[in-house]
Structure 1
Amino acid sequence: MLAVTRQDDEIAHAAWLYYVGKLSQQEVSDRLGISRFKVLRLLADARDRGMVRISLEHRTSRTLALADKLAERFNLKEVRVAPVPVAADDYEYARLAVGILAASYLTRVAGNDQRFTIGIGWGRTLSAMADNLAGLKNQNLTFVSLMGSVTHAIHTAPVDVCVRLAAQTGGRAMLMPAPFVADDAAACELIMSQRLVRETMKVARSSTHAIMSVGECRDGAILFESGLFSPQQLDELRDNDVVGDCCGVFFKADGSIADMPLNKCTPCVKPDEMSAMDVVITAGGATKATATVAVLRAGFVDRLFLDEILAEAILQNS
């Protein structure tokens, strides 16, 4: 059901920015990362479908208003908020809805024959993105891991997501031959010095786009229950008031990177290496509010895709 409304949501988003947000057609083009010609076509479709009269007529207009507030509060180029017409604690549905938004974005920006290198993190929303990607074919796409992988073959690992995206689009996957976390900083430096890791890291750092998810750092969260960390590393996360991670970097609530040894133990592309990338963050579920705010406060994110329950929680608590 959600996939059917994807085109309607694209039309409504362009119309909202133009008619309600008072952006020019060129500004809408820049905001959405699409050509001005496509903006004109979307606006024409909005008029033809009766979605634009005196005001924007679309069932997701409320979520578009939430998106505007979040974009202004955190100085973002784009925010997409997925409607979640189910129970607030149905996190599986929320992740699915956000994954569909991310798939729509990927189709929008990479749906031509241009050459793009797209850095990929890991998480359940990104897995949902891969599950719901359809109609995108571009042999010039490279999907590269921005971080090391997990030891177990799970559906949300960056290796799995990169390979699935490459298979679906006809592009190629480049995988980081490294673990998500090393035992200590010296071991991480050794891993980073290996030729295949260096070559992959060079490609990852040159990514034109990056799509990552937000992870919670708290007891009961997937990161804490995954078996990735030693007991000492878990204590380190707790002792340093870490609330969330993004792509293997651990953040405190104020958006600062926690000054602790563990942040030197993850082979990954760091936020200060992403300044030339178009950085997308995905998050699903209200429990991600604290972690998502922390990542947004870090100041390296360009676009945010999330569900409406989480959007409301962020606006109420930030």
Structure 2
Amino acid sequence: MDHSTDQEQQLLVRLAWLYYVGGHSQEEISEQTGLSRFKILRLLSKARETKIVKISIDHHSIETHQLADALTRRFGLLECIVTPPLGATADPQADEVRARHAVGICAAAFLARRLQGATPPVVGLAWGRTIAAMVDEMPKLNRTDARFVSLMGSLSRTARTNPFEVVQKLAETCGGEAYILPAPFITDSEEDYQIIMAQSLVRQTLALAQKADFYIASFGDCSMNSFIHQHGLLRSEEIEDVISSGAVADMLGKFFNRDGKPVPSKLNYRTPGVSLDDMARHEIVLLAAGLAKADAAAALLRSGLINRLIVDGDLAKVLALGD
């Protein structure tokens, strides 16, 4: 860092401290520093963009506590974190983006808390847009002993939700190591699945995944509009087949019916990754965002596999009402 950059960094820190911690108005800061209010506003914005400032809001309220308690009791959870309800608008896609962002913020705070233990952590990660939102919100940490391992195969194209991207970015943010599962999300056949699962690099990665302290998973719904179909991970005939077998949700490459049971579909034997037995043996933290995923979320919560839930407030309301 050169001298001019270092001076600007110091100025950003000073302004952020005066404004956010000291509670000084922009006019008061202008008088103290001799800077114009316009320049102070611009520099405060830069402090947020460069993550010198990370805004944290105490989101707990009577409503979110009541929703969390209701979901914890209903589904036998160890912990449930509910974001404040934002309310539905006329734009469902924008609502879902906001829900993912809210859950991402809470999930990042949860993960940062879990990484503070003395034991070197091993964290298993799924991929998905909500997982990516969590990684985007992670604060810088110094856990060089942390290991982050992908639990399932990769997307067929470059995307921010690709396990390579989220695991690698999380490891860089925390100073740890990333372990990628070198396999596709789905194989062409069961025979190809067996060949890939027998590869030494795949076996080594999954052996580490089996040692993980906990898994963080997101999920999808099973429909023609689902992420895995819209992004070409499943062909139309494949998604139709899994839907006809009763699937309403997919998590970690496995497909589940409304009762949370794995469906009798061959697709469950073509997705490299951790097994159903691995899931049952591990603590799973499920990230749930968006009203469109209500049926899928309820199904997975009935599976008995989910131990902790981080959910947006509007979806939590629907889940608390029940069937």
The two structures share one fold, judged by TM-score above 0.5: yes
Q: How many angstroms does 1:313 deviate by?
A: 1.2
User: Of 129, 145, 156, which residue of structure 1 is paired with 2:150?
Assistant: 145
User: Of 207, 210, 217, which residue of structure 2 is paired with 1:212?
Assistant: 217
Residue 63 of structure 1 corresponds to 64
- Report whether the alignment pairs 1:253 with 2:258: yes
- Report whether the alignment pairs 1:99 with 2:150: no
CA distance in 2, matches of 1:222, 1:263: 17
CA distance in 1, matches of 2:64, 2:194: 44
Letter in 2 for 1:308: G
Unaligned runs of 5+ in 1: 13-59
- Mapping of 1:115-194 within 5 angstroms? 115-194=120-199
SS of the equivalent of 2:248 reads: strand
- Mapping of 1:1-318 within 5 angstroms? 4-6=55-57, 8-9=58-59, 60-88=61-89, 89=92, 90-318=95-323
SS of the equivalent of 2:56 reads: helix
CA distance in 2, matches of 1:276, 1:115: 20
Unaligned runs of 5+ in 2: 1-47, 49-53
Q: How many angstroms does 1:295 deviate by?
A: 0.9
Contact 2:229 2:236 in 1 (8 A): no
The one-character-per-residue Cα deviations of 1:58-91 (angstroms, maximum 9, x if unpaired) are xx22011101000000000000011133535311
SS of the equivalent of 1:267 reads: coil
Larger of the two Rg values belongs to structure: 2
Contact 1:111 1:136 in 2 (8 A): no
TM-score (ref. length: structure 1): 0.81
The one-character-per-residue Cα deviations of 1:27-81 (angstroms, maximum 9, x if unpaired) are xxxxxxxxxxxxxxxxxxxxxxxxxxxxxxxxx2201110100000000000001
Letter in 1 for 2:70: K
Which range moves more in the overlay, 174-183 or 212-221? 212-221
CA distance in 2, matches of 1:143, 1:171: 7
CA distance in 1, matches of 2:255, 2:273: 12
Residue 30 of structure 2 corresponds to none
SS of the equivalent of 1:282 reads: strand
SS of the equivalent of 2:104 reads: helix
SS of the equivalent of 1:210 reads: strand
CA distance in 1, matches of 2:276, 2:165: 23
Query: Runs ≥4 in structure 1, deviation > 3 angstroms?
Result: 86-89
Query: What's the C-alpha RMSD, in Å, of the aligned pairs?
Result: 1.7
Which range moves more in the overlay, 273-282 or 139-148? 273-282
Letter in 1 for 2:289: G
CA distance in 2, matches of 1:135, 1:224: 34
Residue 38 of structure 1 corresponds to none
Q: How many angstroms does 1:135 deviate by?
A: 3.6
Letter in 2 for 1:154: A
Letter in 1 for 2:180: L
CA distance in 2, matches of 1:106, 1:115: 14
Q: How many angstroms does 1:132 deviate by?
A: 0.3
CA distance in 2, matches of 1:63, 1:4: 20
SS of the equivalent of 1:259 reads: coil
CA distance in 2, matches of 1:137, 1:84: 33
The alignment-based identity, stated in percent, is 36
SS of the equivalent of 1:118 reads: strand
Q: How many angstroms does 1:176 deviate by?
A: 0.3
Residue 37 of structure 2 corresponds to none
